[in-house]
Chain A
């Protein structure tokens, strides 16, 4: 009982200094967790993707669309159990600041493709029955205060004009990671208007989504689909939903790498602060350490005292930092709005935070412990703080 009490008393001998150090560690660990969560959020789309779905798009780039009649041919490919399609709309809601994803979808076939979007039967029926109907995710609806029945105007950037939709349903996510900040409406509504205004742009969609009979066959099926359309006017590129989502992540890779690098820099900064605290603490106590040694305690005991104190302070700060990460992540998520979806502190992040605190404690104790173990009793007793 004596040793832990000694360590505790030692740690709080300079109450102000220890408190400041702990505050510093809390800030660093919280920032580290927050930055990692931001990076994780980027990958959320890929994490939530299903391995039983493939996405087919134009091989040139996403800007080019595919003819709608491809759906029939894709359905005939061995291993495909169902096909749906979606088209990026890119409309502006009130002002350009309000960005959220909007897709024109192939009605029931698309909703069936994504069982993770949970819609009540009544709302589903109402949406399918209304040509200008739309459904929005819970997060999106909450953000703009939409209720079922509201009229939602979107100003088209790709498809000119103002398009008004009637909200027929609000879907929830089946899992915590499901993105509920997307807006869906009927492809037929878009297509018919386009055909009237710009006949050449009609009957075209951005991507096809296929459900696989057997997820294991993903590679073979995607190859079969692409072969079907080889040397046609619109060649395709088919990949798993995960690969498709990761393609988007890769585009901002440079920024993600920078955020990751910075998240480690904060740990290095706090390591310097903590090392400084321990160096000062040990310097003041060389006399005491020498006394311990003179009384017959081993070098190991002195080292243990310093390491335990350092680890104790670091871990206390680390655990408080983990605790603070959750409310901070909520604040951050609500302030950036729906740009980053699936904002959630993962178990890996918590593990890394605790690990980082542990490393900070160990590294900070290294030099003082080494010095304290080496110091000769005579020198130590002579040393003044």
Chain B
């Protein structure tokens, strides 16, 4: 026969201070654990959502990022003539040849500089990225020194807001619009006219090319064509995969560091739970003896104390998760050291993180409660009753 759940739960209320301290410690551990996972998930989501399934990015072989890549006009022309590229309504091919550079801009809050991506785009570049839409101001006029800024850049950097001017490449550029790219990596970029950018930065080649496939399944064939052409030193990647790869190092770093920290912290919390449960067992020796005398089995005692520890863990887990979910309102902006450019992303709570965090919390309760519960279950009835 099992010991009623009520008995287990009321024990926690009877020792309020101890319960609060122990569950509080666990809640902090779960909070740190969950926020770190949320950060890594947010970064991945931002960069994965940046790509479209049927878009292909072309960069110079082994250059890894757009900024390091270079494609001259001759090579660009060859790529542009591929038969697998979608032809838009106006008869032009949906290809965007883009110069991409980094410039140093000071942050609004701290005044400290960070690298921001400047991308030269054409009409095709906009058509290829339907998630990008203007929310304030207007589009830049091609052929002028006008630019539009992504939402996080407009909010976060000096001179990048609507109507303000930026100075780079010996020119003043007016920000005439702010665009929202739906929480993708483009939110952290500034866009201007591609030809203007080439002239301003004195480049005669592009950094990367983006085009849409008529049939997304033809990607492998197109990739082989491009990479086996002896005139080209380029590589092609699906846009989705290209951006996902750029988040790998940073999100791995965040989750390794976070998991490492959480494991160390959990040792502290487990010890806290163990101390609490040992004390709980010791102070109830008489009660345990009585319960055994009444006919409750050793297994029932073990279950009751383990249940108490698990409940403690669950309480901590829930409090920690509530705290962590409040973090969703925040977004964080830092340098992605793979691309050397600023990227803004937010804490994202996924069902998977909720489940993992709760399992983690229950695990802490179980590990901390097992030995004390075993001690309670092993007590001899006579000794326990005499101790009381």
Contact = CB atoms under 8 A, between A and B. Distances in A.
A167 interface: no
B354 to A, nearest CB: 20
B104 A61 contact: yes
A238 to B, nearest CB: 14
B279 interface: yes
B357 to A, nearest CB: 16
Contacts of B67: 63
Given A20-B271, A160-B61, A60 B333 contact: no
A250 B274 CA distance: 41
A72 interface: no
Contacts of B278: 16-17
Interface string B46-82: 0000000000000011111001100000000000000
B271 to A, nearest CB: 4
A251 interface: yes
A24 B272 contact: yes
Given A24-B268, A253-B112, A268 B28 contact: yes
A157 B68 contact: yes
A270 interface: yes
B24 interface: yes
A272 B115 contact: no
Interface in A87-128: 90, 92, 96
Interface in B340-356: 340, 342
B29 A269 contact: yes
Binding site secondary structure of chain A: helix
A277 B62 CA distance: 58
Given A20-B275, A157-B63, A280-B279, A266 B21 contact: no
A62 B115 CA distance: 9
Interface stretch (B3-11, B215-223, B259-267, B301-309): B259-267
Interface in B71-106: 101-104
A158 interface: yes
A64 B101 contact: yes
Nearest to B233: A160
Contacts of B168: 60
A160, A273, A367, A385: most-surrounded residue (chain B CB, <10 A): A273
A35 B261 contact: yes
Interface in B164-181: 168-170
Given A24-B267, A64-B101, A273-B268, A231 B170 contact: yes
Interface stretch (A3-11, A186-194, A254-262): A254-262
Contacts of A90: 68
A28 interface: yes
Contacts of B103: 60-61
Interface residues of A, number: 54
B168 to A, nearest CB: 5
Contact of A280 (B18, B25, B61): B18
A275 B21 contact: yes
Interface in A262-303: 262, 265-266, 268-270, 272-273, 275-277, 279-280
Contacts of B335: 251-252
B283 interface: yes
B25 A273 contact: yes
Given A262-B261, A272-B25, A61 B102 contact: yes
B32 to A, nearest CB: 6
Contacts of B60: 160
Contacts of A235: 170
B276 interface: yes
A1 interface: no
Interface string B12-54: 0000011001101100110110000001000000000000000
B324 to A, nearest CB: 12
B204 interface: yes
A155 B101 contact: no
Given A160-B60, A280-B275, A385-B283, A31 B265 contact: yes
Contact of A273 (B261, B264, B272): B272
A24 B271 contact: yes
B21 A279 contact: yes
A60 B104 contact: yes
B115 A17 contact: no
Contacts of A23: 267, 271
A361 to B, nearest CB: 16
A17 B265 CA distance: 18
B381 interface: no
B68 A158 contact: yes
A269 B102 contact: no
B264 A27 contact: yes
A247 interface: yes
Contacts of A233: 170, 202
A237 B168 CA distance: 13
Contacts of A21: 271, 275
Contacts of A258: 39
Contacts of A196: none
B68 A269 contact: no
A276 B264 contact: no
Contact of A31 (B68, B261, B272): B261
A30 to B, nearest CB: 8
Interface in A1-56: 16-17, 20-21, 23-24, 27-28, 30-31, 35
B280 to A, nearest CB: 9
B141 interface: no
Given A63-B115, A280-B276, 11 more contacts: A31-B261, A64-B201, A157-B63, A254-B334, A265-B28, A269-B268, A270-B268, A273-B269, A273-B275, A276-B25, A276-B275
Interface of B: 17-18, 21-22, 24-25, 28-29, 31-32, 39, 60-64, 67-68, 101-104, 110, 112-115, 168-170, 201-202, 204, 233, 254, 257, 261, 264-265, 267-269, 271-272, 274-276, 278-279, 283, 332-335, 337, 340, 342
27 contacts: A17-B275, A21-B275, A61-B101, A62-B115, A63-B115, A64-B101, A155-B62, A156-B62, A158-B63, A160-B60, A235-B170, A237-B104, A251-B115, A251-B334, A252-B337, A255-B254, A265-B32, A270-B25, A273-B21, A273-B25, A273-B268, A273-B269, A273-B275, A276-B22, A279-B17, A367-B17, A385-B283
Q: Which 9 A/B pairs are nearest by Cβ-Cβ distance?
A: A251-B335, A273-B272, A254-B334, A24-B271, A272-B25, A276-B21, A250-B112, A61-B104, A31-B264
